Structure 1
Amino acid sequence: MPTPAIQTEQATDSPLQVAFCPYFEDNPYQGSLAAALEKQGVHVEGVRPTTLIASRGGSAVQQADILHLHWLDHALLANSLSKTFSKGCVFLLQLAWLKLRGKRVVWTVHNLTSHESKRPQTELRLLRRVASVADRVLVHSNAAGKLAQQQYKFPTAKLRVVPHANYIDDYPAAPPRDNARRAIGVPQDELVFLFLGAIRPYKGLEALLSALRTLPDAGIRVLIVGKPLNSSIDETLRAAAERDGRVDYRPGFVPDEEVSTYMSAADVVVLPYRRVLTSGSTLLAASFAKPIIVPNVESIKEGLDPEGIIVFDTDQDPTLALADAMTTAIQQRMELAHMGQRNFDRVVAWGWTEMGAATAAVYRELLPSSHRSTEQAER
C-alpha cells in the first residue's frame, strides 16, 4: 500500500478537535476512523450538514479545529433542480462563513458524484465549489486522486492520498469453511460467488444474474446477502431466485458475526459495480483472504494484488464481461485460495492505526505548531 508523505506521532498537548460532516453512527468506516483518530490525540464529533452554523450542531463545529467533510449528496441534493440549487447554495455559504472565521476544511472524496444522482452535472458544479473551498482533498488511491483532480479542477497542492484501511480486526474470527457452510446451509462441493452488502442499482446485480443465466455449470451458487434499497429490487431478486436454483438470495441487515460466516463460506467475492471510485467491499473481501471479481477501474485495482483479482471489462457488454470473469473463476477453482491470500498479504500492513495516523498528519499540517508533534515542528 502507498504511504503518505507525512507521518505523525500523537500530539502531546491538548487534543485536536475535528467535526465529521455528515456522521453516520452505523457506518463502520467512520466509526473505525474516529476511534483510530482518538488514539492519535484527535477528538471527533459528528454534525449534520444542515446545522453547520446553527445552534443545534454549530457548537461542535465552532469548537472544532478541522471540519472534515465526507459524503455530500444529502448536503447538496434535493428532489428538484431549484431545491438542489437552493440547498447547495446554503451549504456552500455555510462553508464560506466558516472559512472566513478561520476554520480549516478537509474533504474525503468517496465518490465523484453520488451513485444514483439524478443531476450529475449540477452536483459536479457544486462539488467543484466544495473543492475550491477545501484546504485538503483526501482520496484513497493515486488513481482516485487523478480522477478527482480532473473532475473538480483543484490544485495538486491540496491533494493527499490516504489509503483505505483493512477490516482485519473489525469482525469476529471467521469459522472454518466447512463449518461456515453448514451454518448457512450451503453444500460443501459448490463453487460459491458471494455478493455481500447494501443492494443498490449501481452495484450491477442485474448484470450478474444475467451472466449467471449464460453459464451451464450446475455446481455453482450466487449468494446475494444484504439489504435491498427498495421493494422493487427485493421483488426482482426474489423472482430470480425462484427461476434459478443457483441464486441464493438472503435479504436483510447482516450482523458482524454473520459477515465472517458468509465470507468464510465463499470461494469468490464478486463486485459487479457499474461505476465506482472507492469500495470498502474490496478491503473487506481482501481482509478475509478472498479473491475478488472487480471492474476494470484503476482506483479499485490499485489497492489489491494483481494476482488476487479477476477483472471484467467495463467497456464490454456487462453480461458477457461478468460471464467471462465467472468462467475464469470456475476454471481457476484450485487457485482461488492462493489468490485470496495474495489479497490479504497486500492489505494486512495498512489498518486503522496507520490510516488514523496519516489522516491526523493531514489535519496537523493545516494548523499552528501547537497542534503538531515534536517531529513535525522540527521539520
Structure 2
Amino acid sequence: MEKMRPAVDIAREHMACAKALRARFWPAILPRQRKRIGVFPYPLKNPFLPLLYSNMRAEVVALPSLRRGIRLANLGHVDALHIQFEDQFWRRARFEPKRTEGEASAEFIEMLDDYISSGGHLAWTLHDAESHYEDFHSKSIREIRSFLANSAHVVHTFSSAGAQYATNVMKITPERIVVIPHPSYIGAYGDAPVSEPPPDRRRFLSFGTIRPFKGIEQFLDALGHAKIDATFDKLVVAGEYLKGRSPDLEAHIPNNRTVDLRYGIVKDEDVSSIFADTDFAVLNYQRVLTSGFAALAMTMGKPIVGVDRGGLKEAVPPENHALLYDPSIPDGLATVIERACAMSPTEHLALQLACREFANQYHPFTQSRLLEQAFEDHGVL
C-alpha cells in the first residue's frame, strides 16, 4: 500500500478543486475522465473528511455552500452530492445572503428536493442519533434529517448500531443503507507513539471537546471509588471547554485521584505526544452510534476503557472487549477501570499491538474505496 499523504494535503486538494470550479457559470461541454462528487459541509477542523475521501478515483469538491454545489451539479460540473454534517446546513459562501435558521433549513430542503427531482444523485452519512449537547435535535435539523432519510439514494452509517437506528427510527429502507466503519487516523497526526510496556501505575486519557454526552463526570466519580490506589497514576482530560455548554468537571474530581484538566484545542502536532503519555483511552459515551476518538485511539495503539453502548464494541478489536462494561451493571465502570490497572505489562503490550492491527484493517485508503464502491453500486457515481 502506498504511503499515506498528510490529511492537510488531501484537504488542500479538495479545496483547490472547489476553487477551480467556483467561477463556472456555463454548462459542461467536454466529457471528463473522472467523476466528481461535491461534499457539503466540509469543515477543516477535523481530518476525518480528507481521510474518508483519500483514495477515491472520483475528484472530491469541498463545497463552501450547498447553493454552490447545486449550481455546479445543475451545470454538469459535479456528478453527485454527499451531505455529511447536516447540523451545519447554515454554512454559506462569502457573498451569499444570510438566512434565519428556519429560512436556511427550508431553503436547504427545497434546493435538494429540486436537485433530486431534476435527476440529481444524493448520498448522506448518518453520524449520530442526537445533538452533541442535548438528547434531541432542533425542529430545523429534524426536518432536514427526515428529508435526507426519505430522499437520499444511499445512506452511509459507520456501524450496525447506526444501521439499526437508520432502519428502526429513521425508517430508511435497508436496501439504501450501507455500513462502512470509520476510517482510522493513519496519516493525520504524524507517527503514532511506539508500543512499549506500560508503567506500573496506569495513565488514562479523555480527549476532545468536553461535551455532556461523553460521560466524563461519571468516569471521574467511578475513579474515586475504584480500588486502584496502588496502580493508578493520573487521568488527563485534554480538549476544548465551551463555557455554558461543557459540563463542570471540577465538581466531580475525586480528592483521592490525580486529574489533569488541560482545557483548550489540542494542536495537531501535539496529538501523538499526548497519546504517548497515556496507557488507556477513556470512552464513556452516554449515547453514540460511532466514535472518531475510538478510531484515533486504535491508530495510536491505545486500548479503550469505557462503555459497551451503540457501535463502540465494533470500533475496537475483540481483545479490547473485556474493558467495556455493560451500563446496566452497577459499578461496571469501576470494575473495568480496576481491570485495566491490574493488567500485566505483557497483556497490555499485546493489546496495544491488537489495537494497531485493528486500525490497519480500517486504513483510510480501504474505507475510502469501499465508500466509493457503495456509491457506484447505488447509482450515485
What interval of TM-score do these two structures reach, taking the shorter chain for normalisation?
0.7 to 0.9
Gaps of 5+ in 2: 1-30, 92-99
CA distance in 2, matches of 1:86, 1:157: 32
SS in 1 for 2:217: helix
Alignment partner of 1:328 out of 330, 336, 339: 339
In the alignment, structure 1 residue 137 sits paired with structure 2 residue 151: no
Q: Write the mapping of 1:66-81 to structure 2, written as runs, cut at 5 A.
A: 66-75=80-89
Deviates more, 1:20-29 or 1:138-147: 138-147
TM-score (ref. length: structure 1): 0.79
**1:331 aligned partner, one-letter code:** A
Could you tell me how far 1:241 is from its partner in structure 2?
5.8
Residue 280 of structure 1 is matched in structure 2 by 292
Computed over aligned residues only, the root mean square deviation of the Cα atoms, in angstroms, reads 3.0
1:223 maps to a residue whose letter is V
Whole-Å separation in 1 of the counterparts to 2:311 and 2:296: 16
- Separation of aligned partners in 1, 2:33 and 2:378: 16
User: C-alpha deviations, 1:48-102, integer Å up to 9, x for none?
Assistant: 5xx423xx5644454321110111123289xxxxx76654333211210111222
State the secondary structure of the residue aligned to 1:152: coil
Residue 205 of structure 1 and its aligned partner are, at CA, apart by 0.9
Aligned to 1:26: 45
1:88 pairs with 2:105: yes
Structure-1 residue corresponding to 2:208: 197
Distance, in Å, in 1 between the alignment partners of 2:259 and 2:216 is: 11
Instruction: Output one character per residue of 1:180-234: Cα deviation in whole Å (capped at 9) or x when no partner.
Output: x9xxxxxx54210111112111111111111112135334211111112326748
Aligned to 1:112: 129
Secondary structure in 1 matching 2:206: strand
CA–CA distance in structure 2, aligned partners of residues 249 and 96 of structure 1: 46
Supply the distance in 1 between the matched residues of 2:252 and 2:200 (Cα, whole angstroms): 22
Where does residue 209 of structure 1 map in the other structure?
A: 220
Residue 44 of structure 1: aligned partner? 60
Partners of 1:296 and 1:340 in 2: CA distance: 19
94 and 316 in structure 1: CA distance in 2 versus 1, 3 angstrom threshold: farther
Q: Between Structure 1 and Structure 2, how many residues are aligned?
A: 336
Residue 120 of structure 2 corresponds to: 103
CA spacing shift, 1:135–1:58, aligned 2, 3 Å = closer
What TM-score do you get using the length of structure 2 for normalisation? 0.78
Q: What letter matches 2:296 in structure 1?
A: L
8 Å CA contact 2:192–2:299 kept in 1: the answer is no
Shift of 1:273: 0.7
| Alpha-carbon distance between aligned partners in 2 of 1:137 and 1:108, rounded to the nearest angstrom | 6
Question: Going by fraction, where is helix more abundant, 1 or 2?
Answer: 1
Residues 279-288 or 332-341, more deviating: 332-341
- DSSP-derived class of the 1:111 partner: coil
Match of 2:184, SS state, is coil
Give the residue type in structure 1 aligned to 2:298.
A
- Alignment identity in percent? 26
